[in-house]
Amino acid sequence: MKQREAVVQVLEKHWWYAKLSTLRDELVWNPIFVTKAKEPFANIRGIVQTKPKEIYIIRPWLYWLVKEKERLEQLWLTQITDKNKDSPEVQQANHSYYQWLLVEIWNLKHFFTYVPHQDQNKICFSDKWMHLKDIISEKSLEGPITLFKRTDTIDVIRLNEDNTPSNVFEVEHSTDIINSLNKFWELKNLKTWCYIVADETRHKEFDKKVSQTVYKDICPRFLSYENLENYYDKITEYYSLKKLTWF
């Protein structure tokens, strides 16, 4: 069996689609990768990201089989193209995707997270049919953050043990960044790390708006989509390696 065939087998096992982290977890034990690859993680990533004819990328770090493309698109969402990338459906799916990445990262670190009630039934880009509420702890679903009026609408909140916000993230694709900064401003008296998550093309706009005096006490930070995806890649690779080495 070739390495590419082994990747396809894992995708078939997981109903024709899987995350890169799942491929790592299962294939790193495969003798083909253990004995023939000096860097098995790099080889696995290389196989899926070079777009072999059997596999296509539905989102970064999420891969589907071409032969089931029509079936999956009917169930879920379409692949992003130059024609549909600005459509409301794709923008909404992207928003959910970055929420999912953030929640997954904090799950790996064993922290509680919260997403707004109106977002909890959004599709989760996992290895099986799930919603965002399915991957956050029950403790996080007990209720919204009630300390401040607008914080319960923030896209993702990492919670302290007392249910107060520790890290907060607003995903901004096309809406006004000021709306998110105003939410962050309500947290100015807490030691909360605030992040705007957006495409790198909005970085200059972010810098201009946060320079306003009213926001100097909250020190918001900009996190690009690309950097978030790269961080997710590295942290999932770390935890896959941890499973392999047992220490």
Note the pLDDT tens digit of each residue in 85-117.
778 777 888 898 999 999 999 999 989 898 988
Given this model, what pLDDT does residue 202 score? 95
Q: What is the domain extent for residue 219?
A: 88-230
240 in a structural domain? no
Contact 14, 21 (CB under 8 A): no
Backbone angles phi, psi at 83, to 5 degrees: -75, -35
Contact 63, 23 (CB under 8 A): yes
What's the structural domain count of the chain? 2
- Examine the domain organization and report whether 139 and 216 are in the same domain: yes
**Distance from C-alpha of 245 to C-alpha of 8, rounded to nearest angstrom:** 25
Residue 231 has pLDDT above 80, yes or no: yes
DSSP 90-106: HHHHHHHHHHHHHHHHH
**DSSP label of 15:** T
Classify the C-alpha dihedral 232-235-240-241 as positive or negative: positive
- Examine the domain organization and report whether 96 and 205 are in the same domain: yes
At 206, list the tokens: 């972010």
Least confident window among 57-61, 95-99, 200-204, 234-238: 57-61
Given this model, what pLDDT does residue 229 score? 92
Residue 52 has pLDDT above 80, yes or no: no
235 in a structural domain? no
- Examine the domain organization and report whether 99 and 200 are in the same domain: yes
Residue 177 has pLDDT above 60, yes or no: yes
- Examine the domain organization and report whether 180 and 114 are in the same domain: yes
Residue 200 has pLDDT above 60, yes or no: yes
The residue out of 21, 41, 72 marking a domain boundary is 72
Mean pLDDT comparison of 87-101, 133-147, 193-207, 211-225, highest-scoring range:
193-207
Both ends of the chain: CA-CA distance in Å?
31
Given this model, what pLDDT does residue 180 score? 93
CATH number at residue 13: 1.10.10
**Distance from C-alpha of 59 to C-alpha of 229, rounded to nearest angstrom:** 10
Given this model, what pLDDT does residue 44 score? 83
